[in-house]
Amino acid sequence: MAQLILLPGKERSSLKLRHPWLFAGAVGRLQGRARAGDTVEVLADNLRPLGRAAYSPRSQIRARFWTFDIAESVDDAFFKRRIAAAVARRHSLPELRGQQGLRLIHAESDGLPGVIADQYGDCVVVQLTSAGADKWRGAIVSGLVKATGCRRIHERSDSDVRRLEGLAPVTGWLHGAAPDSPLTIEENGIRLTVDIAGGHKTGFYLDQRDNRALLGRLAAGREVLNCFCYTGGFSLQALAGGAASVLSVDSSGPALAQAQASLALNPQLPGERAEWLEADVFLALRDFRKQGRLFDLIVLDPPKFAPSAAHAERAARAYKDINVLGFRLLRPGGLLMTYSCSGGIGPELFQKIVAGAALDADRDARIVRRLAGSADHPVALNFPEGEYLKGLLVQVE
């Protein structure tokens, strides 16, 4: 096994806190030969062993720790143990038992850097975003089959972050065959279609499950505007909760078509109260402002504006603009449910952005609730970067 030897003093900060990322600037030299994805032993400059990690020579994150236990081997059995433990943690939480859509593995927060696995019924979708995860694809698939008994596994390793690792996109079936009919799940009493081959991420935004349920509880009698609605998860929950009307806006025609297909699967919902608009959300909200339209409850769940901290300044402007527009379209007493899924925007910065937007919109507002991802998206205490989804429920005067 090759050895990655750190520069003097570099083990004293993040590694003492067991942070799983080792950046290139901390590395002194590589002793031996290692290719992308190979397991290397990480040593302090005095050659004291620190753990074992996946080597990634093309990335600024030069290594991702598999284990800080220097006696633990990284082999097929290692992945079976880690995967089984991650699945067991979900099953130990009553609120997650029986969920047809469930995140089984949440990368670093489950001790498996670069590994995402989401379950939709009898199908698991995996996304491998790091060189180390890519290297152990076979062991990961075997571990998932053993831990879940799933009939099929589909790979969606096509995210942009793979380019930073020097990896090409990979998609396709790894276990079993494609289902004969469109994939559907039930969430909080609502049936939803999931496009695992062409949809965002692994096909659906499972992290918003609890927040969609919250919206349903808030929607009764309200005129709801759902912005960046994608396939309508929030919209359908609002209808189920008794919303007076739900206007859903997204720039993607196919996503809106999928949302309407999901609505058709739920004949108990008042579909006549739903309106779907294909448009640029920023432009649509400005048009609503000119038209004098107002709403009682607005959802702002935009795409990732800041994939990293380097994009934070530009993203902050976009988040502020969209929240200013949202505040201006709320009736007195109205609620704004606003989110950021950008890792480069932390919770404190996001609150400052929303506060600035309220000032620019000349609205007095209060935080009613802080919002985050559902319980199957845990955040390891040694990896705060895992808290990518943050949200605020704000009420205006």
| Host H or E run for residue 76 | helix 76-91
How does DSSP assign 214-279, residue by residue?
HHHHH-TT-EEEEES-TT-HHHHHHHHTT-SEEEEEES-HHHHHHHHHHHHT-TTS-GGGEEEEES
The CATH classification number of 3-67 equals 2.30.130.10
Q: How far is the C-alpha of 306 from the C-alpha of 316, rounded, in Å?
A: 8
> pLDDT tens, 4-29?
999 998 887 667 789 999 999 999 99
As a whole number, the mean pLDDT across the chain is 95
pLDDT, tens digit only, all 397 positions of the chain = 999 999 998 887 667 789 999 999 999 999 999 999 999 999 999 999 999 999 999 999 999 999 999 999 999 999 999 999 999 999 999 999 999 999 999 999 999 999 999 999 999 999 999 999 999 999 999 999 999 999 999 999 999 899 999 999 999 999 999 988 889 999 999 999 999 999 999 999 999 999 999 999 999 999 999 999 999 999 999 999 999 999 999 999 999 999 999 999 999 999 999 999 999 999 999 999 999 999 999 999 998 876 666 667 788 899 999 999 999 999 999 999 999 998 888 899 999 999 999 999 999 999 999 999 999 999 999 999 999 999 999 999 9
Domain ranges of the chain: 3-67, 76-180, 188-396
pLDDT score for 9: 87
Q: Which of 281, 311, 313, 315 is nearest to 298 (CA)?
A: 281
Contact (CB, 8 A) for 112 and 83: yes
> pLDDT tens, 76-116?
999 999 999 999 999 999 999 999 999 999 999 999 999 99
Could you confirm whether domain 76-180 is CATH 3.40.50.300? no
Q: Hey, CA dihedral for 361, 366, 368, 372, is it positive or negative?
A: positive
Active-site positions read 341
> pLDDT tens, 312-323?
778 889 999 999
In this chain, the answer to whether the domains covering 76-180 and 188-396 adopt an identical fold is: no
Q: What architecture is the 188-396 domain classified under in CATH?
A: 3-Layer(aba) Sandwich (3.40)
Contact (CB, 8 A) for 140 and 126: yes
